[in-house]
Amino acid sequence: MQGMSERQYAAHVGLSRGAIQKAKTAERLVLYPDGSINAAASDARRAETTDPSKTRKPPEPKLKPVP
């Protein structure tokens, strides 16, 4: 295996395995001939094809100020 598995790549980018499978079927990932994922090329392709307005932003921490 040359690249990452779906699970490894999901952990790498912080997405679910299902999201990676969707990206794979939509051809937004770069695959090696053995079917493994080329992480560097896939990161670049995802950055080009992903609409930033449709991505989730991490929640802001709900901390109270300390007096």
pLDDT digits (tens, 9 = 90+) for 27-37: 889 999 999 99
pLDDT at 54 exceeding the cut of 80: no
Poorest-pLDDT segment among 3-12, 30-39, 45-54: 45-54
pTM as predicted: 0.72
Cα angle 59-63-67, degrees, rounded to a multiple of 5? 160
Query: What is the C-alpha to C-alpha distance for residues 56 and 66, in angstroms, rounded to an integer?
Result: 29
Strand-pair partners of 37: 4, 31
From residue 42, alpha-carbon distances to 4, 36, 45, 58, 66 in Å are 11, 11, 5, 22, 43
The secondary element (H helix, E strand) that includes residue 9 is: helix 6-13
